[in-house]
Amino acid sequence: MKPINLSFAACGFLGIYHLGAASALCKHGGKLLKDVKAFAGASAGSLVASVLLTAPQKIEECNKFTYDFAEEIRRQSFGALTPGYDFMARLRSGVESILPANAHELAHGRLHVSITNSRTGRNCLASSFPSREDLVQVLLASSFLPIYAGLKPVEYKGQKWVDGSFTNSLPILPVGRTVTISPFSGRLDVSPQDKGRLHFYLSVTNQEVLTSKTTGVFLPIVTASSLVFLEETSPGPWSLPVDKALLWSSVRAATRRVVRPYAGPHKFLILVLSKALLWSSVNNSIFAKEAIDGNQ
């Protein structure tokens, strides 16, 4: 029998969905959890994976922290970007309070955290944690969204790292069967089933998300920002109130004018800035608020 792994996708404050999934696994999937060999995740997904592995009894506490954290940010004049507000310090306090003293020992070799090297733009799946501080630093690095979370990347092993979702938002481990979990509808094992689907998928750094009317409207912008790759998977009626040929033309034009002229680190800079804007929008949207309230 192949080993079973659990992987939690990057998703910002929609990580509240992951906490719901983790809670359900603890209550109804005890047998499955006993067979899980490894846990993986990116950004918020890595935080939930670490809790499920090292402190499953604290999922409710983690749930409360997430809710309070989101509300605290919304009370700020400019959200997490408010001068004087330290997003990373607040996140660290939550991680420190929830993870047990021997978390690094429990996570060593079993937890795989996606992080991105800020200099090379390359991905790394960190799974070796000699100390608890090493584990905390890796988790913070995987959740560090430049500009939104601060200006200085997280240092780990002499290098600087940023959000793992930039390069691998849904880690698939090479050995065994990886069960994928995401709050976005798509080609995933555990995810919501959204209505109003189109026949397109957005491939966002290893995570394939099924488009809806909302995501479809922003396809040209997202593509131009080099965040996604558009793939048509099957023929069918076009449900957006726009001309399909015109949309494709917009995508090609945006890609030609914005992405192609840039090379190397410039593309990565566009990616960082675009994700910062999108993350901020999601965090302050009514959809994130409803997701959090619905889990209480």
Active-site residue set: 43, 163
Tokens of 184: 């976005």
Which amino acid, residue 105?
E
Specify which residues 146 forms β-bridges with. Answer: 150
Residues 94, 98, 99, 102, CA torsion sign: positive
Q: How far does CA 102 lie from the centroid of its chain?
A: 25
Distance CA 27, CA 85 (A): 37
